[in-house]
Amino acid sequence: MLRALPEQPRRHRDVPHRDVLLIVVASATAAVAEDVAARLRLDGSVVYVAHSAQGCLRVATSISPDMVILDPALPRRLEVLLRAHPATASAEILHLEPARLSRPLRTPAPAADPHAA
């Protein structure tokens, strides 16, 4: 006879525990995608870049990311497909703001050394 297992707290995602965020950035404009990816990598995230809706769908459904960041110029259907796929259904989906698309990556100024004399 089968018994129900005791309720276990469910994690947000059914993927192995990760210490860093796994993010997919999708933009048809390579410079935009690479700029956003570079900023996220500075924060310690692992970032994959896709340059088309098809590429984004292939990559995201292959790696089960924690987050997908989409260029608003990509088809809206992409978000629908990502939400419908089991590998990406629980990923947070964000959209790039048009104002951020035109700003170049600014390298942060080096922090002053608190131990400098």
CA distance 56 to 52: 6
Residue range(s) defining the domain that contains residue 90: 22-96
Q: Per-residue confidence at 18, pLDDT binned at 50, 70, 90? A: confident
- Asked if the structure places residue 13 within a domain, the reply is no
Residue 26 placed within a domain: yes
Strands 46-50 and 22-26: parallel
Query: Averaged over 29-42, what is the pLDDT?
Result: 93
Domain count, the chain: 1
Give the predicted TM-score (pTM) of the model.
0.71
Q: Over range 95-111, report the average pLDDT.
A: 57
**CATH number where 50 lies:** 3.40.50.2300
Strand, coil or helix: 92: strand
Cβ pair 53, 78 in contact under 8 A: yes
DSSP 68: E
Structural domain includes residue 87: yes
Residue 80 lies in a domain: yes
Neighbours of 69 (CB within 10 A): 22
**Run of H or E residues at 77:** helix 77-84
Does residue 11 lie in a domain region?
A: no
Whether 51 is in a domain gets the answer yes
Residue 105 belongs to a domain: no
Average pLDDT over residues 51-74: 96
**pLDDT for residue 91:** 96
